[in-house]
Amino acid sequence: MKRTKDIVLCILLAIVVVAITGCGKKENSSTEQVKENNPIKNFVVDPDQEYDTSAKFSYDDMIIGSLKYGMTEDEVKAVIGEPPRRVENKAEESIYGESVDYLFEDLQLSFYKHDGKMILSSAYTGSRDYVFTKGLRVGDTKDQVISSFQNEGTDEDKMREISSAYEGVEAFGKYLYGHGLEDVKDGVKESGNVDYAFINYYNYDSSNPDASYMIEYRHAEPPYVSNYATSSDEMGSLVFDINNEGIVTSIRWYFTPKAE
Protein backbone atom coordinates (compact mmCIF):
# COMPACT_ATOMS: atom_id res chain seq x y z
CA MET A 1 0.00 0.00 0.00
CA LYS A 2 2.84 2.41 0.83
CA ARG A 3 4.49 1.85 -2.56
CA THR A 4 1.14 2.30 -4.34
CA LYS A 5 0.54 5.51 -2.43
CA ASP A 6 4.02 6.88 -3.31
CA ILE A 7 3.48 6.08 -6.99
CA VAL A 8 0.09 7.81 -7.05
CA LEU A 9 1.57 10.90 -5.40
CA CYS A 10 4.30 11.07 -8.06
CA ILE A 11 1.70 10.74 -10.84
CA LEU A 12 -0.51 13.43 -9.33
CA LEU A 13 2.39 15.89 -8.98
CA ALA A 14 3.43 15.22 -12.58
CA ILE A 15 -0.12 15.90 -13.81
CA VAL A 16 -0.26 19.16 -11.90
CA VAL A 17 3.08 20.39 -13.26
CA VAL A 18 2.04 19.63 -16.85
CA ALA A 19 -1.45 21.13 -16.43
CA ILE A 20 -0.37 24.55 -15.15
CA THR A 21 2.36 26.86 -16.38
CA GLY A 22 3.46 30.12 -14.81
CA CYS A 23 6.02 32.85 -14.63
CA GLY A 24 9.02 32.69 -12.34
CA LYS A 25 10.40 36.17 -13.06
CA LYS A 26 11.58 38.24 -10.14
CA GLU A 27 9.93 41.66 -10.03
CA ASN A 28 11.77 44.77 -8.92
CA SER A 29 9.28 46.76 -6.84
CA SER A 30 9.33 46.01 -3.12
CA THR A 31 5.62 46.76 -2.65
CA GLU A 32 3.42 45.33 -5.35
CA GLN A 33 -0.26 45.81 -6.10
CA VAL A 34 -1.46 42.77 -8.04
CA LYS A 35 -4.33 42.62 -10.54
CA GLU A 36 -7.77 43.04 -9.05
CA ASN A 37 -9.64 40.71 -11.41
CA ASN A 38 -9.10 37.71 -9.16
CA PRO A 39 -9.88 37.88 -5.42
CA ILE A 40 -7.01 35.50 -4.61
CA LYS A 41 -4.63 38.00 -6.17
CA ASN A 42 -5.99 40.98 -4.21
CA PHE A 43 -3.08 41.62 -1.90
CA VAL A 44 -0.29 44.06 -1.21
CA VAL A 45 3.11 42.69 -0.21
CA ASP A 46 4.45 44.67 2.73
CA PRO A 47 8.27 44.52 2.67
CA ASP A 48 8.40 45.54 6.34
CA GLN A 49 6.06 42.81 7.61
CA GLU A 50 7.78 40.48 10.06
CA TYR A 51 7.17 36.73 10.29
CA ASP A 52 8.09 34.16 12.90
CA THR A 53 11.12 32.58 11.25
CA SER A 54 11.72 30.31 14.27
CA ALA A 55 8.51 28.37 13.62
CA LYS A 56 8.29 25.00 11.92
CA PHE A 57 5.86 24.31 9.08
CA SER A 58 2.34 23.39 10.20
CA TYR A 59 -1.18 23.10 8.77
CA ASP A 60 -1.57 26.85 9.42
CA ASP A 61 1.00 27.44 6.66
CA MET A 62 -1.17 25.75 4.03
CA ILE A 63 -2.55 29.00 2.63
CA ILE A 64 -2.62 30.83 -0.69
CA GLY A 65 -3.85 34.39 -0.69
CA SER A 66 -7.08 34.43 1.30
CA LEU A 67 -7.66 30.70 0.88
CA LYS A 68 -6.54 28.07 3.38
CA TYR A 69 -6.49 24.34 3.94
CA GLY A 70 -9.78 22.96 5.25
CA MET A 71 -12.16 25.37 3.51
CA THR A 72 -15.20 23.79 1.88
CA GLU A 73 -16.07 24.23 -1.78
CA ASP A 74 -18.78 26.75 -0.85
CA GLU A 75 -16.33 28.75 1.27
CA VAL A 76 -13.78 28.82 -1.56
CA LYS A 77 -16.39 29.82 -4.15
CA ALA A 78 -17.56 32.63 -1.86
CA VAL A 79 -14.06 34.10 -2.32
CA ILE A 80 -13.25 33.30 -5.95
CA GLY A 81 -16.62 32.49 -7.53
CA GLU A 82 -17.21 29.52 -9.81
CA PRO A 83 -13.98 28.03 -11.20
CA PRO A 84 -13.45 27.95 -14.99
CA ARG A 85 -13.24 24.16 -14.78
CA ARG A 86 -14.37 21.77 -12.07
CA VAL A 87 -13.15 18.19 -12.57
CA GLU A 88 -14.09 15.15 -10.51
CA ASN A 89 -10.91 13.11 -10.30
CA LYS A 90 -11.49 9.36 -10.39
CA ALA A 91 -7.86 8.26 -10.93
CA GLU A 92 -6.93 7.68 -7.27
CA GLU A 93 -10.41 7.32 -5.73
CA SER A 94 -9.73 3.71 -4.69
CA ILE A 95 -6.81 4.93 -2.53
CA TYR A 96 -7.79 8.41 -1.30
CA GLY A 97 -11.55 8.52 -1.91
CA GLU A 98 -13.41 11.31 -3.71
CA SER A 99 -11.54 14.36 -5.02
CA VAL A 100 -12.34 17.44 -7.09
CA ASP A 101 -10.00 19.81 -8.95
CA TYR A 102 -10.59 23.51 -9.68
CA LEU A 103 -8.51 24.44 -12.74
CA PHE A 104 -7.57 28.03 -13.50
CA GLU A 105 -5.13 29.32 -16.12
CA ASP A 106 -2.31 29.59 -13.59
CA LEU A 107 -3.62 27.80 -10.50
CA GLN A 108 -4.94 24.41 -9.43
CA LEU A 109 -6.95 23.81 -6.25
CA SER A 110 -7.92 20.30 -5.15
CA PHE A 111 -10.50 19.08 -2.65
CA TYR A 112 -10.61 15.71 -0.86
CA LYS A 113 -13.26 14.23 1.37
CA HIS A 114 -12.16 14.42 5.02
CA ASP A 115 -14.40 13.63 7.98
CA GLY A 116 -17.36 13.40 5.65
CA LYS A 117 -16.96 16.69 3.77
CA MET A 118 -14.98 17.91 0.76
CA ILE A 119 -12.27 20.34 1.87
CA LEU A 120 -9.53 22.32 0.15
CA SER A 121 -6.54 20.00 0.36
CA SER A 122 -3.98 21.31 -2.10
CA ALA A 123 -2.91 24.35 -4.10
CA TYR A 124 -0.35 24.67 -6.89
CA THR A 125 0.91 27.52 -9.05
CA GLY A 126 3.86 28.52 -11.17
CA SER A 127 2.77 32.16 -11.14
CA ARG A 128 4.24 34.96 -9.05
CA ASP A 129 0.78 36.49 -8.68
CA TYR A 130 -0.03 34.41 -5.59
CA VAL A 131 1.23 34.80 -2.03
CA PHE A 132 1.89 31.77 0.16
CA THR A 133 2.82 31.52 3.83
CA LYS A 134 5.45 33.96 5.18
CA GLY A 135 4.84 36.11 2.09
CA LEU A 136 6.70 33.62 -0.11
CA ARG A 137 6.05 33.57 -3.86
CA VAL A 138 7.34 32.17 -7.12
CA GLY A 139 10.44 34.17 -8.07
CA ASP A 140 11.80 34.29 -4.52
CA THR A 141 15.18 32.73 -3.77
CA LYS A 142 16.20 29.48 -2.16
CA ASP A 143 17.74 31.46 0.71
CA GLN A 144 14.49 33.36 1.29
CA VAL A 145 12.61 30.06 1.61
CA ILE A 146 15.11 28.48 4.01
CA SER A 147 15.32 31.58 6.21
CA SER A 148 11.50 31.81 6.48
CA PHE A 149 11.24 28.72 8.71
CA GLN A 150 13.22 27.19 11.51
CA ASN A 151 16.50 25.64 10.37
CA GLU A 152 19.58 24.11 11.95
CA GLY A 153 21.91 26.23 9.82
CA THR A 154 22.25 27.37 6.23
CA ASP A 155 25.68 25.87 5.46
CA GLU A 156 24.86 22.79 3.39
CA ASP A 157 28.28 21.28 4.04
CA LYS A 158 27.30 21.00 7.70
CA MET A 159 23.71 19.77 7.21
CA ARG A 160 22.77 16.20 8.10
CA GLU A 161 22.36 13.95 5.08
CA ILE A 162 19.28 11.87 4.38
CA SER A 163 19.95 8.14 4.34
CA SER A 164 17.66 6.78 1.65
CA ALA A 165 15.46 3.72 2.00
CA TYR A 166 15.58 3.22 -1.77
CA GLU A 167 17.94 0.58 -3.09
CA GLY A 168 21.09 1.99 -4.64
CA VAL A 169 20.56 5.52 -3.33
CA GLU A 170 23.10 6.55 -0.71
CA ALA A 171 21.91 10.05 0.16
CA PHE A 172 19.63 12.37 -1.77
CA GLY A 173 19.19 15.43 0.40
CA LYS A 174 19.99 17.57 3.43
CA TYR A 175 17.87 18.16 6.54
CA LEU A 176 16.86 21.67 7.49
CA TYR A 177 15.35 20.32 10.71
CA GLY A 178 13.83 17.14 12.13
CA HIS A 179 14.08 13.50 11.06
CA GLY A 180 12.20 12.06 8.09
CA LEU A 181 9.96 9.03 8.30
CA GLU A 182 11.56 7.64 5.12
CA ASP A 183 15.13 7.97 6.40
CA VAL A 184 16.85 4.66 7.14
CA LYS A 185 19.38 6.06 9.59
CA ASP A 186 17.44 8.90 11.21
CA GLY A 187 13.93 7.55 10.75
CA VAL A 188 11.63 7.91 13.74
CA LYS A 189 8.86 5.98 15.42
CA GLU A 190 6.92 8.96 16.71
CA SER A 191 3.55 8.88 18.44
CA GLY A 192 3.32 12.69 18.73
CA ASN A 193 3.58 15.39 16.08
CA VAL A 194 6.11 14.81 13.31
CA ASP A 195 7.93 17.81 11.82
CA TYR A 196 10.80 17.78 9.36
CA ALA A 197 12.13 19.74 6.39
CA PHE A 198 14.81 18.97 3.83
CA ILE A 199 16.42 19.94 0.55
CA ASN A 200 15.57 17.14 -1.87
CA TYR A 201 18.22 16.59 -4.55
CA TYR A 202 16.89 13.22 -5.69
CA ASN A 203 17.66 12.78 -9.43
CA TYR A 204 18.96 16.36 -9.61
CA ASP A 205 21.66 16.98 -12.24
CA SER A 206 23.19 20.46 -11.96
CA SER A 207 24.80 20.08 -15.41
CA ASN A 208 21.32 20.10 -16.96
CA PRO A 209 20.27 23.75 -17.42
CA ASP A 210 16.61 22.76 -17.01
CA ALA A 211 17.15 20.68 -13.89
CA SER A 212 15.44 21.50 -10.61
CA TYR A 213 15.31 20.27 -7.03
CA MET A 214 12.90 20.77 -4.14
CA ILE A 215 12.72 22.21 -0.65
CA GLU A 216 10.10 20.25 1.28
CA TYR A 217 8.38 20.85 4.62
CA ARG A 218 6.21 18.18 6.29
CA HIS A 219 3.92 17.97 9.30
CA ALA A 220 1.76 15.16 10.74
CA GLU A 221 -0.39 14.89 13.85
CA PRO A 222 -1.92 11.91 15.71
CA PRO A 223 -4.00 9.85 15.80
CA TYR A 224 -2.09 7.51 13.51
CA VAL A 225 -3.21 4.24 11.93
CA SER A 226 -0.69 2.32 14.05
CA ASN A 227 0.87 3.39 17.32
CA TYR A 228 3.32 5.68 15.53
CA ALA A 229 3.48 7.81 12.39
CA THR A 230 4.23 6.27 9.00
CA SER A 231 4.14 7.59 5.43
CA SER A 232 0.66 6.04 5.10
CA ASP A 233 -0.79 8.48 7.63
CA GLU A 234 -2.30 11.89 7.01
CA MET A 235 0.34 14.53 6.40
CA GLY A 236 0.66 18.14 5.27
CA SER A 237 3.45 19.15 2.87
CA LEU A 238 4.74 22.41 1.43
CA VAL A 239 7.06 22.12 -1.58
CA PHE A 240 9.16 24.69 -3.45
CA ASP A 241 10.66 23.81 -6.84
CA ILE A 242 14.07 25.47 -7.25
CA ASN A 243 15.98 25.93 -10.52
CA ASN A 244 19.73 25.98 -11.16
CA GLU A 245 19.87 29.70 -10.36
CA GLY A 246 18.35 29.12 -6.92
CA ILE A 247 15.00 30.70 -7.87
CA VAL A 248 11.57 29.32 -6.91
CA THR A 249 9.74 28.27 -10.10
CA SER A 250 6.59 26.80 -8.54
CA ILE A 251 5.01 26.25 -5.13
CA ARG A 252 2.49 23.70 -3.91
CA TRP A 253 1.05 22.51 -0.64
CA TYR A 254 -1.08 19.45 -0.13
CA PHE A 255 -2.74 17.39 2.53
CA THR A 256 -2.33 13.66 1.97
CA PRO A 257 -5.29 11.67 3.34
CA LYS A 258 -4.92 8.23 4.87
CA ALA A 259 -4.71 5.49 2.27
CA GLU A 260 -7.98 3.55 2.13
Q: What is the 3-state secondary structure (H, E, C) of the chain?
A: CHHHHHHHHHHHHHHHHHHCCCCCCCCCCCCCECCCCCHHHCCECCCCCCCCCCCCCCHHHCEECCEECCCEHHHHHHHHCCCCEEEECCCCHHHHCCEEEEECCCCEEEEEEECCEEEEEEEEECCCCCCCHHHCCCCCEHHHHHHCCCCCCCCHHHCCEEECCCCCCCEEEEEEECCCCCCCCCCCCCCCCEEEEEEECCCCCCCCCCCEEEEEEEEECCCCCCCCCCCCCCEEEEEEEEECCCEEEEEEEEEECCCC
State the pTM of this model. Answer: 0.83
pLDDT tens-digit readout, 53-107: 999 999 999 999 989 999 999 999 998 889 999 999 776 655 567 889 999 989 9
pLDDT tens-digit readout, 172-214: 899 999 988 877 776 678 899 999 999 999 889 999 999 999 9
Determine the structural domain holding residue 178 and report its residue range.
2-24+31-256
Overall domain count for the chain: 1
